[in-house]
Structure 1
Amino acid sequence: MPLMKMKQITACVIGVSTLLSGCFGSGGDRAIPEIEGELLEVYLKEGLVNRYGTGYVDSQTEIDFEESDTASDDTSGGDYSDTNTQEVGVDEADLVKQRGDYIYSAGYFAFDSDDSSLRQSGLKVYSVSTSPLSSKLERTIPLTGSELSDGLYLTDDQLIVLTPAQSGLAVYSGDADGEYYTVDVEAVSEVRFMSLADPAAPSETVKLVFSGDLLESRLIGNELYLVIQYQVSETRVLGPRLSDSVERSEFMTERAVVEMVNETPLENFLPQVWYDGQLSGNLFSDGLCHLPDATQGGYPSIITVVRINIESPDDWEAKCNSGRIHGVYASQDAFVLAGYDQEDWDATRLDWYTLDDFRLIATGSVPGTLAGTLPSFRLSEKDGYLRVLTSSSNFSLWDGIAIEDVTGIVASDVIETRPVFAGDTADHRLYTLLPNQDNGYDLVSQLPNLKRQDVIGKPGESVRSVRYRGDRAYVVTFRQTDPLYVINLEDEADPYIEGELEITGFSSYLHPLNDNLLLGLGYAATDTGFIEGLKLSLFDVSIPADPTEVSTMRLGGPASSAEAMSDNRASSYLRIDDHTTRLAFAWVDVNDDYEWVGDRVFVADIDESTQTFTEKLNLIYEGPGDDSDYYRYWNEYTRVLLHDDGLHFVRNGEVESGSLNDISFE
């Protein structure tokens, strides 16, 4: 099969000294020293100097690929719903986790009984009893010095808490009266490992702290993966006076700034790690880094990918990456960073790490972006192939070369794979990629193509949801009506649109109930595209060439909303028997006159044999006349956890429990 013409930029092993010429915009009659060092060092130093108004000259250093290093959980307690994740076996952090006997939730809580407005980040621990279902608050644990949690992970014997925080010290400078000062504050990401030897009283055993802001995380088996963006600390590198851009010119010349940067060792620019409060050093110090945008000049930030053995948290390793990373996709066999291409905002860069030896094996870009909500759902890995659906209104920029004309991969060339045929107005494309021996990707197939010219979506329609299941992809597009496409992926080299259904409204989230039945959560709409309310749909896809909508349910009016439409973790599912799945989520009820009716908890049973919905609960938990805590609007989140024949409703970390027959909300 022909190969894809790609921007193939490889990861780098730094072994060659690189000199980049840098000069301040004002120039002057002084010679400004060059930024010196190896590639990663130049990248970070130049980025820091550029922050103060310097220019750069492209690097010509060769980049070689890095060589290989030598180097959902079961619990007891009855039937209950787990965090709703994209892929089986790949857990996602959430603000609430439950096991049959306990619930752990994160939020901002009042720890001062004399002033309930004073709140801080913390955890609540609830014990659970059955017959009847109830919960009891056991304790509230402060997460001192941290912000609202980035999420929790729960295993049989551990609760793992991810929290953003700030570390640093106020550094005063100036005259004797201290008229001005700078503060060296650096963002850090904390990972707290808490023992559940006593599940009612989680106790912290280890805390790891990493420099930077957490972007994403996943738990796969016993390995926790973190993606952290690290911004070089100016004060740590240059000192307190230089970090104040207003005062910098009074103390040092431009030449002196560059000289100071050159004199500062690389280790001062690298992210650090702390183990139980003690600085353990840098996350990495060998200079190895994937720098696909190095030729565009330095940047004062990098991406670190950290893997931690949760059974032994001191067993961790980190990889250096860079660029405009904005998301993560993970399967049980792949961990993929997604970002913007280094040269084009309308292309998606994909960096694939293996899970067995934690190694970057492929990097490359495809035209288009992962636009819209739930971008990771546009990606899927199966049997070593990566499938990705992208969208663009500018695919015509890549026109001119048909797939049969592409004969090889050329470094730094724009990607061109678009089939050329009359009247083609495709805004969405599905690519199937395979890592190759050159650490890039081979294009196995794309859709549409010269053989399969049917496009995904009509002109002007946006992709509203994507879901892969086995050898099929389900794609919903919408502008005025909702085409649901069934795409056959059985032959990786020849995907095709197998079936299509056009109805009013659209689904924002798709959830396969089995191989033949697909649940859609979305919006009802008129045939002109006017939104009428929330809509639940069941699609029979047992005959892929002829998908049908077999059952629907409408909730609320045009302005009604539900987090479950944009966050997979906000809906819960529980298998009740061989043919019944229970669904639950919270939603905001606004009537046809745009009046707020109330915030509701909704539960329905889906009978897969009759392909119908049965509403079990649609109860208001807060209405227009309720006295609400103003603080909820700052940190509002809800989850509806299913448990046997009842539920636990979690609002901002507070839990209310009961059976479906008698639960009420105070």
Structure 2
Amino acid sequence: MKNPHQFGLSISIALLLSACGGGSSTTVSTNNTGTTTTPSTTASKPALKQAANNAELETLIKQQMLEMYGTVRSNMYPCGKGSDMCIMPVMATTTPSVVADTSKSVSSTNTQETNVDEADRIKTDGTYLYTTATDQPNVRIFKTNGASNTLVKDLPVGNDTNTRLSGLYLDGAKLVALAEEQQIYNIWSRWFIPSFWQNQQSQMYLLNVANPENPTQTAKLTVDGQVISSRRIGSTLYVATRHSPNLPNLNQYPTTEAEAAANRALIDKATLADFLPDYQLNGGSKNEIFSGDDCFMTQYTDKKSYQTSIVSLLAIDMNSATLTPQGKCFAGDTETLYASTDAIYLATTSYNYPVPVSVDASGNSTSTSIVYAPNITTDLHKFSLAGGINYRGSGRVDGHLGWNQEQKPFRMSEHKDVLRVVTYNGDNDLSTNPSPARLTTLQENTANQALDILATLPNKNRPTALGKPGEQIYATRFLGDKGYIVTFRTTDPLYLLDLSNPSDPFVASELKIDGYSDYLHPVGDNYLLGIGKDAIATAGGDEGRGAWYQGVKLSLIDITNPATPYEKQKIILGKRGTETAVSQSHHALTTLQQGANLQMALPLSLHDGAASDSSAAPSTYYNWTQDELYRLNINTQTGTMQALAPIVSKTASATDPYSYSSYQWPNDRSVMIGEFIHYLHGDKVISQAW
């Protein structure tokens, strides 16, 4: 399987260029601690401006619509007219929370923040497992009984074969199933193609599971737009959606002046209600979600916005039978959501891809290469959750949040009202940038609705680089007043950050070890577990990164003394070709603390068979052996790791040399209930004693 980091990289440099906005001119200043602040733009502001009235908001949206559809665009055929330029972004998958039977120890969904639930395909109440089917919009409910389970209900929640369930939430006797239309697009589509987001709807099905073996659907909420991400805090479900306005008979790609003129006439006649998203309850009539004073406008004046879209941040009370969405919206874009218990931050990268141009013999200009511009910035919009959703302010930081949609939320963290953000500033080649990664701390300024920068790393007084030239950011994690960043090219530098003074953060230490980590997980108070890949440094390597990736690596780091961390123990699973679902979604990792013992389970596609060639070189792949749930006990006091026998879901056939993985492993999950574990592989649950 291709390395996901490089896969995202190849997407990012091959995006449809004309669909992206640009950066802006910048100036750099230094605060009184010697910290170089993030560049400030001279021609645009990241802050959201509340529309003075409906007319002002309508005018803005119409201007954006006219820019996109009111002129001839004969050279732009994304997602249509035979084009293969469509881009399919990796959506941020969401994950469930678990309401535990208080008489048992029950694992919960692995989430970024405590008490901020995420949606996934499995959750439990300590007796029943609630899961989503893999190939149909069904909720499947299993009753567990020690080392066994029984399917007690297979409940269809949608009657559209194109609908898929994207995640579940459980709050007491209420189960919410999130659903969306299954899109079949080329891998090159979505984020930068506004038409993808048009005519999209997302559904939320509310089920009463007081009697899990006879659940009833009590409500269905449909909202215009595609879900970007969601969270649950208490009984409130927070959902961020993106909706691209459309009009009947609007020509998506006008190739003549007559078609463009017809589009302009349609846009001029439309009203604000035609552009803003609506909602439906139980398939009834459409209702407006927002009025004009609920929506904001981005204040960019230095670039055209070819992405005419409405971003909505909605709050839905799961205890309400009506499931009425309430919240705020703004005309603009966003790509990811981070939530603390007090606030939600929406982040948007201002993409800009300069394209060097040459001229052929006929005088036609041709693009020769694509350069990832070094002046990319990311805008951050904060919304407080106290007493409803309220806009608090915006800020801008240098760099972007990376190419992996799953990892973007982990680039952010709020602690004691301070937002910490890690961005990537290196380019795609062997960068001369001395620090590919940058840390920025920001704090809300109530006087001007801004997120003011407190400090950045590195800076004049704290010059230690975060990463070496040519490295990329792989994993980040914030835990209290500590931060951890993994960068990689040929080895894995782990940077430990001291954030106790957000106005003067510093690098406490750096640890170099083989391989890299995609995900970092706290183990007690003194250890950090990195999950990723082993690697052998050599010339060339995967994607020219100077190393060949090998088997999955579990690296237990002793962080008792932040100044002198060390790798206490490592485990290498399988050989080159081995993958773990945790590298794709942190929800695939399951843990349960039992006294001093941390039980841990992660799905694995194990390649430990014969070599694919006779060279046995670091670049050699090995045949698939089996799909399994790998299990581990970790003593959180001594840092000792002890592997248990894996639970195997599919094994290579000895008589069939062409047998291969079922490719279900990326969606595999598990739940621990008391002394038993339940392994979800596809639509099958395997139960046994831990």
TM-score range, shorter chain: 0.7 to 0.9
SS in 2 for 1:526: strand
Q: Residues of 2 paired with 1:602 and 1:192: CA distance? A: 33
Asked if 2 retains the 8 angstrom alpha-carbon contact of 1:323 and 1:342, the reply is no
The question of 1:443 aligning with 2:453 is answered yes
Match of 1:613 among 631, 636, 641: 641
Q: Residues of 1 paired with 2:461 and 2:577: CA distance? A: 43
Greater Rg, structure 1 or structure 2?
Answer: 1
Change (3 A) 1:544 1:635: closer
Q: Percent identity?
A: 29
Letter in 1 for 2:40: M
SS in 2 for 1:44: helix
Q: Residues of 2 paired with 1:630 and 1:165: CA distance? A: 30
Asked if 2 retains the 8 angstrom alpha-carbon contact of 1:209 and 1:275, the reply is yes
Match of 1:218 among 222, 227, 231: 231
- Equivalent residues in 2 for 1:207-246, closer than 5 Å: 207-235=220-248, 239=249, 242-243=250-251
In structure 2, what is the equivalent of residue 263 of structure 1? Answer: 269
Change (3 A) 1:38 1:634: farther
Give me the TM-score of the superposition, normalised by structure 2: 0.76
The question of 1:388 aligning with 2:404 is answered no
Letter in 1 for 2:319: E
Q: Residues of 2 paired with 1:268 and 1:493: CA distance? A: 46
Write out per-residue CA displacement over residues 492-542 of structure 1, whole angstroms, 9 at most, x where no aligned residue.
111111122111112211101122111111112234433231111111101
In structure 2, what is the equivalent of residue 657 of structure 1? Answer: 687
In structure 1, what is the equivalent of residue 628 of structure 2? Answer: 600
The question of 1:378 aligning with 2:404 is answered no
In structure 2, what is the equivalent of residue 139 of structure 1? Answer: 153
Change (3 A) 1:630 1:600: closer
In structure 2, what is the equivalent of residue 640 of structure 1? Answer: 670
The question of 1:539 aligning with 2:557 is answered yes
Change (3 A) 1:255 1:555: closer
Letter in 2 for 1:273: Y
The worse-fitting range, judged by mean Cα deviation, of 566-575 and 279-288 is: 279-288
- Equivalent residues in 2 for 1:411-560, closer than 5 Å: 425-436=434-445, 437-528=447-538, 529-560=547-578
SS in 1 for 2:199: strand
Q: Residues of 2 paired with 1:140 and 1:621: CA distance? A: 21
SS in 2 for 1:530: strand
Report the Cα offset of residue 206 of structure 1.
1.4
Q: Residues of 2 paired with 1:282 and 1:231: CA distance? A: 16
In structure 2, what is the equivalent of residue 416 of structure 1? Answer: none
Report the Cα offset of residue 335 of structure 1.
0.4
The question of 1:89 aligning with 2:89 is answered no
In structure 1, what is the equivalent of residue 59 of structure 2? Answer: 42
Asked if 2 retains the 8 angstrom alpha-carbon contact of 1:48 and 1:234, the reply is no
Structure 2: gaps spanning 5 or more residues: 1-30, 74-96, 184-196, 353-372, 539-546, 612-621
Report the Cα offset of residue 246 of structure 1.
7.7
Q: Residues of 1 paired with 2:578 and 2:471: CA distance? A: 22
Structure 1: gaps spanning 5 or more residues: 17-36, 57-71, 110-119, 168-183, 396-422, 661-666
The worse-fitting range, judged by mean Cα deviation, of 499-508 and 287-296 is: 287-296
Change (3 A) 1:142 1:459: same
Asked if 2 retains the 8 angstrom alpha-carbon contact of 1:166 and 1:185, the reply is no
SS in 2 for 1:45: helix
Report the Cα offset of residue 620 of structure 1.
2.9
Change (3 A) 1:334 1:185: closer
Write out per-residue CA displacement over residues 102-130 of structure 1, whole angstroms, 9 at most, x where no aligned residue.
00110245xxxxxxxxxx32110111112
Report the Cα offset of residue 74 of structure 1.
4.0
- Equivalent residues in 2 for 1:106-505, closer than 5 Å: 106-108=132-134, 120-130=136-146, 133-143=147-157, 144-145=159-160, 147-165=163-181, 186-235=199-248, 239=249, 242-243=250-251, 254-286=260-292, 288-292=294-298, 295=301, 296-297=303-304, 299-312=307-320, 313-341=322-350, 346-357=376-387, 358-373=389-404, 374-393=407-426, 425-436=434-445, 437-505=447-515
Write out per-residue CA displacement over residues 575-623 of structure 1, whole angstroms, 9 at most, x where no aligned residue.
122x110110111111372211111211010012231111112243212
Report the Cα offset of residue 55 of structure 1.
8.0
Asked if 1 retains the 8 angstrom alpha-carbon contact of 2:549 and 2:576, the reply is yes
In structure 1, what is the equivalent of residue 131 of structure 2? Answer: 105
Report the Cα offset of residue 73 of structure 1.
5.8
Q: Residues of 2 paired with 1:635 and 1:226: CA distance? A: 27
The worse-fitting range, judged by mean Cα deviation, of 521-530 and 88-97 is: 521-530
In structure 2, what is the equivalent of residue 75 of structure 1? Answer: 100
Q: Residues of 2 paired with 1:263 and 1:630: CA distance? A: 57
In structure 2, what is the equivalent of residue 13 of structure 1? Answer: 50
Change (3 A) 1:191 1:516: same
Asked if 2 retains the 8 angstrom alpha-carbon contact of 1:215 and 1:229, the reply is yes
Write out per-residue CA displacement over residues 548-589 of structure 1, whole angstroms, 9 at most, x where no aligned residue.
111111100011111112311011001122x11011011111
Write out per-residue CA displacement over residues 36-67 of structure 1, whole angstroms, 9 at most, x where no aligned residue.
x83321233233334435289xxxxxxxxxxx
Asked if 2 retains the 8 angstrom alpha-carbon contact of 1:46 and 1:297, the reply is no
Write out per-residue CA displacement over residues 322-375 of structure 1, whole angstroms, 9 at most, x where no aligned residue.
333111111111100111137787211111110103111111210011114411
The worse-fitting range, judged by mean Cα deviation, of 611-620 and 221-230 is: 611-620
SS in 2 for 1:262: helix
Letter in 2 for 1:622: K
